[in-house]
Amino acid sequence: DDAVALASQVGLVSGHNYQIGTTVDTDASRAGDVVNVEAASNATRTTRVGLDVPAPFFHANQYKRLQIPQNLDNSTLHRTKRAAQLPPPNTPDDILEVLGDTNDVDGSGRYPIYQGGPRTVVSNHSTFATALFDLQAANVRLFLGNPADPASLVATRSLRPPLFGAE
């Protein structure tokens, strides 16, 4: 609740989309919940994924629920349409397949969801890294390279204390 309140403050300098989840909660029915906070300098919108919006919930550099003017580039439009073409993910590995998809909605490959390598030079975007937070398994997996390729996994860490080896 504190993280949601902090991310939901009006008057922030820039906009962002936060996904805030928990692996534990004093209310056991909320463990594993995900809250999506869209924050702009003049407004915020908080939704609970799976309750207020259907799961899975995909966005690519755009506000989905916050109704404010936006400039959506081709990369955003193509990636959003491509995600809608794919089967809804049911498992963490299914999510990695979506995040690692290298096709484009129009078949050109110019604006894929995973933007790595020289094929995406036209869009001036690239995927630096991908992190998959699995709240059910209480871990995070970090990928450098296409997350659909198991060889790109560089680290898996627990989300339970002590976090990342800290005491």
pLDDT band per the 50, 70, 90 thresholds, residue 120 = very low
Q: Beta partners for 44?
A: 39
Q: What is the mean pLDDT of residues 93-115?
A: 90
pLDDT band per the 50, 70, 90 thresholds, residue 60 = confident
pLDDT at 39: 85
* Mean of pLDDT over the chain: 82
Question: What is the distance between the alpha carbons of residues 100 and 113, in angstroms, rounded to a whole number?
Answer: 7
Q: Which residue, 40, 44, 47, 58, is CA-closest to 8?
A: 44
User: How many helices and strands, by DSSP H and E, does the chain display?
Assistant: 3, 6
Q: What is the mean pLDDT of residues 109-128?
A: 72
Sheet of 139-143, strands arranged across:
130-134, 139-143, 153-158
pLDDT at 152: 96
Whether the Cβ atoms of residue 104 and residue 111 lie closer than 8 Å to each other: yes
Whether the Cβ atoms of residue 35 and residue 45 lie closer than 8 Å to each other: no
Query: What is the per-residue pLDDT across 100-109, written as a single tens digit (0 to 9) for each?
Result: 999 988 888 7
Q: Alpha helix (H) ranges present in 8-150?
A: 74-85, 92-99
87, 104, 107, 156 from 74: Cα distances, Å: 22, 11, 14, 33
